[in-house]
Amino acid sequence: MIAVTFVGIHVLTTVVDSYVSTGPLSIVVPLTSSYKTLGVSLGAVAFDLMIAVWVSSLLKLRLRNDTWRFIHWFSWMAVAAAIAHAFTTGTDAHSGIGLDLTLTCFAAVALAGAARLIYRPTRAAGRTALSPLPSAERTANRKKTR
């Protein structure tokens, strides 16, 4: 929710800013901005993916588990598109604190992804991220308790 809020503020202030004419359509539709078309389009893609993940979280109880997991893989694409957006559109992303902030965000996501791969919880052993099936160990424990 915090990320969605701050991205919403970023998008709103960009659209109402008179310095750059991006237009409200370019928020969600790629290739519709006259200003730095590719960079703004990468931002729109990142925003669309982020909204898809957020909405799927709100609807988690109504979605099949494998569908929800599949949609959550879009988070990685959203981060990649957002970082590419920062480097191609951001005026401060190439030096100083802007570069430091962009690289810190990238490093945090990369470390979180690495930790997820390396320190996978035991409850996830024996299944992939797209598989809603329980692990073999959990299935065996269920049979013992019956």
Domain locations in the chain?
Answer: 2-145
State the pLDDT at residue 126.
57
The mean pLDDT value of the chain amounts to: 83
pTM: 0.74
Q: Residue 82's pLDDT is what? A: 93
Q: Is residue 127 very low, low, confident or very high in pLDDT (cuts 50, 70, 90)?
A: low
Q: Is 36 left (phi over 0), alpha (psi -120 to 50) or beta?
A: left
Phi, psi of 21 (to 5 degrees): -100, 95
- Rounded-to-integer distance, Cα 46 and Cα 56, Å: 15
* Contact partners, residue 16, CB within 8 Å, separation at least 6: none
Q: How far is it, in rounded angstroms, from Cα 131 to Cα 117?
A: 16
Question: pLDDT above 70 covers what percent of the chain?
Answer: 82
Most confidently modeled of 16-20, 30-34, 45-49, 66-70? 45-49
pLDDT computed for residue 45 by the predictor:
95
pLDDT of residue 139: 55
